[in-house]
């Protein structure tokens, strides 16, 4: 936990840098492959420091994160055993790997979308999507939708509520997204069951 706390503090300092937008893009990109700290750690203080650029920051985080996800996908597709699997095991993501490997091709769109908006590790889903040969265009579409929902909602909340909403976002937003996705999936399954 000390290493994660140090990384968290380091990324908080990055938000104060004059070239923070490039750092946001870089952190968003590498977080989708291996970095353990989410882009929100930079996104939130950057938006609070310059509310007028909230949409730009959300767009940069979205595009960079999806681009990183595509690289993660390619790692899983091309070099799973050589690079991706040891990387995920080193990050302690073995349980998540097993979970997603078994279900990603059946429910790929929903899984990638869910990982895009929730605390589920996006890096695991992007790599496992490549490893299980999920259709790349479907991966990109669901990743783009999920990441855009997450980052633009964070931007909107900060733009309209400012500092008051910061604690809520940092602490609970990912879990609320996950809760709503579970409700959506449960409702869809329930409706599907009723129509059969």
Backbone angles phi, psi at 18, to 5 degrees: -60, -25
Q: Is 99 exposed, middle or buried (0-12, 13-18, 19+ CB in 10 A)?
A: middle
- Tracing tokens 């882009």 back to the chain, one arrives at 39
Report the chain's mean pLDDT, rounded to a whole number.
Answer: 78
Decide if pLDDT at 141 tops 80.
yes
- pTM of this prediction exceeds 0.95: no
Query: Rounded to the nearest 5 degrees, what angle is found at the Cα of 109, between the Cα atoms of 108 and 112?
Result: 80
- The answer to which of 4-18, 83-97, 119-133, 181-195 has the lowest mean pLDDT is 181-195
User: For residues 152 and 65, is the Cβ–Cβ distance under 8 A?
Assistant: no
Give the C-alpha separation, 132 to 164, whole Å.
42
> Within 13 Å of residue 52, how many CA atoms lie on the same side as its CB?
0
128: its two tokens: 């496992």
- Tracing tokens 């706390």 back to the chain, one arrives at 5
Give the C-alpha separation, 84 to 196, whole Å.
40
Decide if pLDDT at 32 tops 60.
yes
Q: Which helix (H) or strand (E) element contains residue 164? A: none
Decide if pLDDT at 190 tops 60.
no
Please tell me which residue, 16 or 78, carries the higher pLDDT value.
Answer: 78
Q: Is 41 exposed, middle or buried (0-12, 13-18, 19+ CB in 10 A)?
A: buried
* pLDDT > 70: percent of the chain: 68
Reduced to 3 DSSP states, what percent helix, strand and coil does the chain have, rounded to the nearest 5? Answer: 85, 0, 15
């Amino acid at each position: 936990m000390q290493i994660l706390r140090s990384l968290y503090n380091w990324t908080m300092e990055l938000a104060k840098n004059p070239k923070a937008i490039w750092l946001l893009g870089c952190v968003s990109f590498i977080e989708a492959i291996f970095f353990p700290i989410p882009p929100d750690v930079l996104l939130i203080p950057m938006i609070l420091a310059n509310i007028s650029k909230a949409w730009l920051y959300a767009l940069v985080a979205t595009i960079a994160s999806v681009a990183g996800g595509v690289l993660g996908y390619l790692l899983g597709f091309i070099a799973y055993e050589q690079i991706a699997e040891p990387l995920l095991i080193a990050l302690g993501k073995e349980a998540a790997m097993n979970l997603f490997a078994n279900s990603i091709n059946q429910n790929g769109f929903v899984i990638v979308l869910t990982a895009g908006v929730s605390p589920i590790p996006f890096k695991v889903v992007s790599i496992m999507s490549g490893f299980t040969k999920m259709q790349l265009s479907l991966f990109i579409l669901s990743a783009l939708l999920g990441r855009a929902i997450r980052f633009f909602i964070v931007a909107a909340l900060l733009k309209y509520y400012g500092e008051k909403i910061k604690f809520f976002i940092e602490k609970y937003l990912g879990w609320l997204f996950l809760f709503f996705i579970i409700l959506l999936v449960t409702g869809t399954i329930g409706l599907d069951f009723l129509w059969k």
